[in-house]
Structure 1
C-alpha cells in the first residue's frame, strides 16, 4: 500500500470511528433534581436522534493520474456534506445514557426511600416516550469485591429498579430490559472504587 493510500485510509477511519465510539453519560448526583423532559430526550428512540453522517472520500482526477497534488486537496467530501464541512465541525451530540446514584441497603437490592424521588422523575420521563420503546436498565458496581459477585449484585439491583418502575408507575415490564454490568463499564474519569461508580444507568433502544 502506497504512502498516499495510507493517508486516505487514516482519513476514512478518523471520520467514521470518532463519533461512532463516543459514549456520553449524564451522571446525576444524589441530591440533584431529575428533569423528566431531559430523561425523555436522552432516552429517545435512536431513530429520532441525529444520525452520524457517513462521508465518502473521492480522489481528484490529478491524483488518479498519479500527478502530485497539494496535501489539502488529496481528498474531498461528497457535495451533500461540503456545506457542513465549510461551516466547521458539527455540534457535539448530547448524552446517550443517564445514570442515577440509586441507594440500596448494604449488600442488598432493596431500594432506599431516598432514591425514590429521582426514580419517580425518571419514570415520568419514560412515560413521555413512545409507548412501545424499550429502555435498558444497567446495574453498575465499583471495583470492590469479585467480578462474579458484583455482576450478580448489579443484576439484582437493576431488577429491583425495574420492579419499582412497574409496581409504582405502571410501566409495561416488557419495555424494560435488565443487565447486570458489575465492574464492567466504569466511568472513565473516576477511580474504580469511587462511590459514583455504584449506579443504575438507563439507555434507550
Structure 2
C-alpha cells in the first residue's frame, strides 16, 4: 500500500514537472518569436544600401553606368521640390510620381504598429523605429534623401485612410528628427492610404499596415 501511494505521488509529480517544462518552453518560444519580429539596424542598412549599377563598355570612354543622365537629373530636380514639403501638400500626381521612382530604389517595409485610430507609435514597435533611426544615422546612409511612405489596410473609407497614413508617416519623421537628429529635409513623407496594398488578395492583412522607407540615392544633393 505504501509502495503504491509512493508510486502514485511520484507519477503525479513527474507529470506536473513535465507540464511546467512544456509551459516554460512555450513561453520562451513566444518570446523568441516576438523578438525576431523586430527588424535590426543591420537588416535596414543592407536593404537600403545603394545597388551597384551595371556597367557597359563605351567605345572611346571607360566603363559607364547604364543610366540616362537626363533622367537622373530630372529625378534629382523632382526630389529637390519635395524636400521641406508638408505631407498633405503633395498632389495625387506627385504621390504617383514618387511611387514610380521608388520602384527601382533600395527599400524596406517596416511593420510598425500605432495606437488604435492614432498616429502614436506603439511601445512594441519602438525597437524597429529606433533601429531605423540608427541605420539612417550610419555614415553609409547619412545624408541621402529618404521617402517615408505610410500605408493602411483596406478597412475604412479612402479619405480616412489617406489622412491616417499621412499622419503616421509624419509621426515616424518627427521621431527620427527629435530622437536621432536626422535632418528633416532629408525625409520626404507621403501617405498612400489603402491605394497600394502589399497583399491585395488579403486587403485586411497586417502586412498592408506598414511604413515603407526608400533610399532615393542622391547624397550629392542631400542636406543642402
Q: Secondary structure at the match of 1:111?
A: coil
Provide runs of 4+ in structure 1 moved above 6 Å.
none
Q: Which stretches in structure 2 are left out of the alignment for 5+ residues?
A: 1-32, 57-62, 64-103, 217-224
State whether structure 2 residue 70 is matched by structure 1 residue 99.
no
Deviation at 1:38, TM superposition (A): 2.4
What is the count of residue pairs matched by the alignment? 137
Q: TM-score, normalised by structure 2?
A: 0.55
Return the TM-score normalized by structure 1. Answer: 0.60
What's the C-alpha RMSD, in Å, of the aligned pairs? Answer: 2.7
- Secondary structure in 1 aligned to 2:192? strand
Query: Pairwise mapping of residues 21-36 of structure 1 onto structure 2 (< 5 A)?
Result: 31=35, 32-36=37-41
Deviating more after overlay: 173-182 vs 34-43: 34-43
Q: CA deviation at 1:191?
A: 0.6
2:167 pairs with 1:156? yes
Superposed displacement of residue 104, structure 1: 1.0
Asked if the contact 1:30–1:101 (Cα under 8 Å) also holds between the matched residues in 2, the reply is no
Pick the structure with more helix per residue.
Answer: 2
Are the structure 2 counterparts of residues 44 and 34 from structure 1 closer, same or farther at C-alpha, using a change threshold of 3 Å? same
Give the C-alpha shift of residue 187 in structure 1.
1.1
Q: Is the 8 A contact 2:105 2:214 kept in 1?
A: no
- 2:194 is aligned with 1:194: no
In structure 1, the gaps of 5 or more residues are 1-28, 55-79, 81-93
Match of 1:44 among 21, 41, 49: 49
Question: Does structure 2 retain, via aligned residues, the 8 Å contact 1:159–1:178?
Answer: yes
